[in-house]
Structure 1
Amino acid sequence: MTYTGDVQRDGPTAVRVLDEIEIRKVSVGPMDNDAYLLTCRRQHAQVLVDAADDADRLLALVREGSPAARLDLVVTTHQHADHHRALASVVAVTRTTVAAGAEDAPAVEAATGVTVHRPLRHGDVLTVGHLTLEVVGLRGHTDGSVALVYREPEHVAAPGAVAGRAHVFTGDSLFPGGVGNTGGDPARFTRLLDDVTARLFDRFGDDTWVYPGHGRDTTLGAERPHLDEWRARGW
């Protein structure tokens, strides 16, 4: 399936091929969670972002990226159950390393019985194969919510690649149309919108691709004009 930024549960995998990386996206589970597989094209190392549900589908996704079923890391973007229902099963099969935001890691461990080997903090850097992923803390949806940022190299050749463009995997912290749910708490909402503004919109360009935890993708450019509107409405 050509990458469109949209997938359906039980539908085909959407695949984006860039110079260093292949990005695969599927929708799984009753809440239509988006799971992403990042594959290093040079070493075939792989990162799964959110083992959300349907372990069989996610393991098949891993094999799509690597016939040897190599999985180097699973990152759980936050502690909510719909983002880690398949984590224990995926880890049992692949024996992979698990990472999650430091503040959410104890809840993930308690819910899944899986050890979080790498508690993540804002500014951390993950290196998997030739892929470098920056950890961005986006507090508010949960205290330990994290996003991952991948930047394309300065010299690109793949069709559709853009030198230096950022790709951000935001979990439930940023969607088309607004930030994630903060339970009607004004302090949590302000904290999340402040983090999203300072740590994403103020740092990255309009061509930055945003891959959320549910639904269609977007870009920072598409959402930037609405930041003041979001702050005024309070959600």
Structure 2
Amino acid sequence: MAGIEHLVTSGTFSLDGGTWDVDNNVWIVGSSDEVLIIDAAHDAEAIAEAVGDRRVVAIVCTHAHDDHVNQAPALADRFSAPILLNPAEAPLWELTWPDRKPDGELTDGQTLTAGGIELRALVTPGHSPGSTCLHVPELGTVFTGDTLFAGGPGATGRSYSSFDTIIDSIRSTLLPLPGDTEVRTGHGDGTTVGSEAPHLDEWIARGH
């Protein structure tokens, strides 16, 4: 059966000299035969156990902050699956994995298929230079990484981030999606596009 599976893993996020405890959402999308992993965070064993004996088509990184990619190489090696990442994320990726590169690029409009489910990459910079969401129209879902949360945009106070850019990305790329589209986030609870759309002006006022 095609669908979406959800794990929460715990660990740390480090950048700009600080380290914070975080819980991350890990998403597994596909069927009983093959899946795609979105954001391989913190606990390779738990993720591998959830995958089981299914084929892993790819390990997709919505962005390259260490809490979203720290288990990507281990799982890529375990399942002989490529790591996909937008090339603009290279400076952040290299902070965690200086001696290993992703296996392929994630570009705007690119489509990936796992278990008969088609996911379309939407590049939404701002939280980081190449942050990428994955839209699954047939399941009425968009995986937003740390670009859009319940209650507003992702953080933009650290290196390689821009508040103006993330607002532009949300306004032009995510809010035009159908209002009942489920937003499945990188951390915390989900929401819908329609729930967040009315608050754009509030976020802008708050951000500036």
CA distance in 1 between counterparts of 2:172 and 2:131 reads 15
Structure 2 residue 126 is matched with structure 1 residue 135: no
CA distance in 2 between counterparts of 1:24 and 1:105 reads 28
RMSD, aligned α-carbons: 2.0
Deviations 1:143-193 (A, max 9, x none): 0110000011xxxxxxxxxxxx631111111000110111179x9111111
Are the structure 2 counterparts of residues 175 and 51 from structure 1 closer, same or farther at C-alpha, using a change threshold of 3 Å?
same
Q: How does 1:34-53 map to 2 (within 5 A)?
A: 34-40=25-31, 44-53=33-42
Are the structure 2 counterparts of residues 184 and 220 from structure 1 closer, same or farther at C-alpha, using a change threshold of 3 Å?
same
Q: Is the 8 A contact 1:109 1:116 kept in 2?
A: no
Match of 2:101 in 1: 115
* 1:115 CA drift (Å): 3.4
Which amino acid in structure 2 is aligned with residue 70 of structure 1?
Answer: R
* 1:91 CA drift (Å): 1.5
* 1:98 CA drift (Å): 1.1
Structure 2 residue 207 is matched with structure 1 residue 234: yes
CA distance in 2 between counterparts of 1:29 and 1:89 reads 17
Q: How does 1:181-192 map to 2 (within 5 A)?
A: 181-183=155-157, 188-192=162-166
* 1:121 CA drift (Å): 1.7
Match of 2:16 in 1: none
Of 115, 131, 137, 1:145 maps to: 131
CA distance in 2 between counterparts of 1:38 and 1:88 reads 19
* 1:109 CA drift (Å): 5.4
Q: Is the 8 A contact 1:105 1:119 kept in 2?
A: no
Q: How does 1:4-19 map to 2 (within 5 A)?
A: none
Percentage of pairs with the same residue:
33
Which amino acid in structure 2 is aligned with residue 119 of structure 1?
Answer: E
Deviations 1:66-122 (A, max 9, x none): xx2321110011110011111121122111111011211464256234432221122
CA distance in 1 between counterparts of 2:136 and 2:29 reads 10
Match of 2:58 in 1: 73
Match of 2:6 in 1: 25
Structure 2 residue 180 is matched with structure 1 residue 207: yes
TM-score calculated relative to the size of structure 2: 0.87
Unmatched segments (≥5 aa) in structure 1: 1-19, 153-164
Aligned length: 196
- Tell me the SS of whatever aligns to 2:7: strand
CA distance in 1 between counterparts of 2:118 and 2:181 reads 16
Match of 1:218 in 2: 191
* 1:139 CA drift (Å): 0.7
CA distance in 2 between counterparts of 1:116 and 1:188 reads 24
Unmatched segments (≥5 aa) in structure 2: 12-21
* 1:135 CA drift (Å): 0.6
Which amino acid in structure 1 is aligned with residue 102 of structure 2?
Answer: V
CA distance in 2 between counterparts of 1:115 and 1:233 reads 37
* 1:129 CA drift (Å): 4.0
- Tell me the SS of whatever aligns to 2:88: coil
Q: Is the 8 A contact 2:2 2:115 kept in 1?
A: no
- Runs (4 or more) in structure 1 with deviation over 2 Å come to 105-115
* 1:208 CA drift (Å): 0.3
CA distance in 2 between counterparts of 1:55 and 1:69 reads 15
- Tell me the SS of whatever aligns to 1:37: strand
CA distance in 2 between counterparts of 1:146 and 1:196 reads 11
TM-score calculated relative to the size of structure 1: 0.77
